[in-house]
Structure 1
Amino acid sequence: MDDSDSTKDTILAVILVISTLAMVVRLWQDWIVAVSTGLMMISLAGLILSLCRKIKRLEKSIAARERTMRINLEEVSKHVNQRCDAMSDEVEDVIEALSRRVYR
């Protein structure tokens, strides 16, 4: 999925640059305007592609953090359950000891 998105973004950037160059063809008499417009569109396309890559890296980072948090939460939950079980066993032992003393 990432490859198709990356390919799609690249194709759109190429279309942006080509359409800009096609638009600028009429301005070749003033070559400074034509070159600066072309460079502006190339830099805009590069900026868009760079932003897309950064967003993908951010999504991967968020997914990794979410996995880590989920694993940590599961470990904490297991630890709390073990503690609760141990505590309930201790309470049951104390209750049994008290009930044996009451019957004596």
Structure 2
Amino acid sequence: MEIREVFVDIGLTIVLVVSTLTLVWRVWQDLTMAVATTLMMLSLGGLFLSLSYKVWRLEESVVSRERTMRVNMEELSRTMAQKYDNTVQHIDTTVSEITRRMYR
């Protein structure tokens, strides 16, 4: 996860908490309500950060699996090509052997 993305998320969470605190303090002027609302917004911001981190981990997992599948597909392709070449070589040998027998 890039550090810039984390700073942006943390900055937005701070703005969310400060704006909520300012709004509540201005409207109700009640310390308990302001603290409770600030904690609620702080937990909401933390939830966004946690969700962002989980999405990032999921993306990394998908990229890793895609890379693994690509390597496996390449290896499977090489194996199949080798088997194909062996089969063609065997068929060519058999055909040439049959051709030699027919001309005798």
Give the TM-score range, shorter chain: over 0.9
Structure 1: 4+ residue segments shifted above 4 A: none
Distance 1:45 1:94 in 2: 73
- TM-score w.r.t. structure 2 length? 0.93
Alignment-derived partner of residue 61 in structure 2:
61
- Count of aligned pairs between the two proteins: 103
Distance 1:13 1:34 in 2: 16
Alignment-derived partner of residue 17 in structure 1:
17
1:28-51 deviation per Cα after TM superposition (whole angstroms, max 9, x unaligned): 3x3322221111100000000000
Alignment-derived partner of residue 39 in structure 1:
39
Identity %: 44
Corresponding position: 1:74 with 2:74: yes
Uncovered stretches (5+) of structure 1, i.e. residues with no partner:
none
Calculate the aligned-residue CA RMSD, in Å: 1.2
Distance 1:3 1:31 in 2: 35
- TM-score w.r.t. structure 1 length? 0.93
Uncovered stretches (5+) of structure 2, i.e. residues with no partner:
none
Distance 1:70 1:94 in 2: 36
